[in-house]
Structure 1
């Protein structure tokens, strides 16, 4: 990454800027010391680590919890509640964010960053499925001069998913699944819908989300889970760890009446494994397949 700016060139930096008036600032940054990059996207952070492009990564947002090494970097706060002082204290030369609504905020901080001529960049490809995930990997690989690494990650992703298909070839049953994610507030939990990333990954693993939700929505009626009657319940790490045991999970409204509770098929999963597509998606689908088809 020492040659990052030679690889990117001034043109790439200009692309990152929001205003043509930033040209002088870009030139000054390019002529300065090593680039200093902040990632305000958990997805970008994982991609950067997977590509081995971390040499100039100096800060991440609060959601960037994977890999564990990212947690040792200075934290700029939650990506939608950024603080100007925390960002500028790291003396960044580039801020990466996903782009679009709910990418970074609040607006006044974003405006201040633009007024300070801090280059900001989001990549063109959005990882909404496996095909676009590989496109983003290759786009970021080109950006950081890690094309070989990106190709290797894409090949591994394909290989892992082929392994899942082979496993599913000898199984005809579809497992009914509910994925529960706790919010930060006490006693508020969310059901993950079939159209979410987690829902698509569950389907790849031979399961089916059995609560009709589009994304991630609060469960307003405990009867929804009881009526859905899943074979397996997956609880993300924050909620599972807070409750402390499978027995405590079964005390949640609506859980005890399900087939999953009666057979003890309630499992803890890492939230960052299922919340976005990335280079580990194939590995994570393999993990899901193993969980869904266990015979405890």
Structure 2
């Protein structure tokens, strides 16, 4: 969607944290006029108008900022909203989702194509590919695969954990960890007996965005009170969009998770990139 010479720059609504990160990494953040609630990085994105949660959008909210292009991560909705947006006079491009190296590169290529920045997209993809290769080399050299469980939330004494076929499962694998709750599919409440028998050695949670899961809260839950993770008080918290966003910084998130749970490995930092220099929150 290259812009004719002299044409006005597009006014982009970015829906999905990875979409927003990619646009800023491409150097096109000045074209983004609004984002959704999952767009937490970089800080400039958090200062933009918020059109709501990615899966609970209203057509009026999205269109009220006067976009000329809407880039939405696959799964944005509800479907009725997406139908209204697609029938409006504003182009809507749906970016394919996914939770592995290939999926991240597909997202970059799709966003770059949508905004006519294919060359910049190829350059970004090359940097991210190098980061994944460096991560892969680190993980292959690790001597063990600790058993970890990702806890999404906890209320009423029950923990919702990330099983197989989830972004949580994918990031654990990228970090050289074994998902202790892989027998569950999706994000679901963990039965106390199943969680204890899985014997996780560590618990991973999200920080920021109103998350309040700390070690005292998690290890007081019956599901984890008697586990090796509770005994050693091994809990790692990383920003949610960083950990589960599967945007350009995914190799860095996996590296940081691996370093936290393999403290003796002394993993090197990934190469500095201009688009990942800003601290997360």
Fold-level similarity (TM above 0.5): yes
1:59 is aligned to 2:31: no
Partner SS, residue 20 of structure 2: helix
Task: Name the counterpart of 1:192.
Answer: 162
Change (3 A) 1:6 1:126: farther
Match of 2:78 among 105, 128, 131: 105
1:118 is aligned to 2:90: yes
Give structure 1 stretches of 5+ with no counterpart: 8-29
- C-alpha contact 1:41 1:79 (8 A) present in aligned 2: yes
Change (3 A) 1:248 1:136: closer
TM-score for both structures, normalised by structure 1:
0.78
- Counterparts of 2:67 and 2:218, CA distance in 1: 43
Task: Name the counterpart of 2:226.
Answer: 257
1:207 is aligned to 2:182: no
Aligned pairs for 1:1-296 (under 5 A) are: 5-6=3-4, 33-99=8-74, 102-105=75-78, 107=80, 109-123=81-95, 125-182=96-153, 189-211=159-181, 212-219=183-190, 221-237=191-207, 241-243=211-213, 245-294=214-263
- Counterparts of 1:240 and 1:119, CA distance in 2: 33
- The alignment's C-alpha RMSD in Å is 2.8
- Counterparts of 2:156 and 2:38, CA distance in 1: 19
Change (3 A) 1:188 1:138: same
Change (3 A) 1:148 1:67: same
Change (3 A) 1:82 1:164: closer
Q: Return the structure number with greater helix share.
A: 1
- Counterparts of 2:49 and 2:23, CA distance in 1: 16
Q: Which of 59-68 and 125-134 deviates more?
A: 125-134
Residue 230 of structure 1 and its aligned partner are, at CA, apart by 0.6
- Counterparts of 1:145 and 1:191, CA distance in 2: 39
Give structure 2 stretches of 5+ with no counterpart: 265-281
Partner SS, residue 97 of structure 1: strand
Q: Which of 158-167 and 283-292 deviates more?
A: 158-167
Residue 231 of structure 1 and its aligned partner are, at CA, apart by 0.9
- Counterparts of 1:259 and 1:238, CA distance in 2: 26
Partner SS, residue 76 of structure 1: coil
Query: Aligned residue pairs: how many?
Result: 263
Residue 241 of structure 1 and its aligned partner are, at CA, apart by 4.4
Partner SS, residue 96 of structure 1: strand
Change (3 A) 1:213 1:274: farther
- Counterparts of 1:168 and 1:113, CA distance in 2: 43
Change (3 A) 1:5 1:196: same
Please list the CA deviations of residues 232-273 of structure 1 after superposition, one character each: whole Å capped at 9, or x if unmatched.
111112599424x42232212222211011112112122212
Residue 277 of structure 1 and its aligned partner are, at CA, apart by 2.2
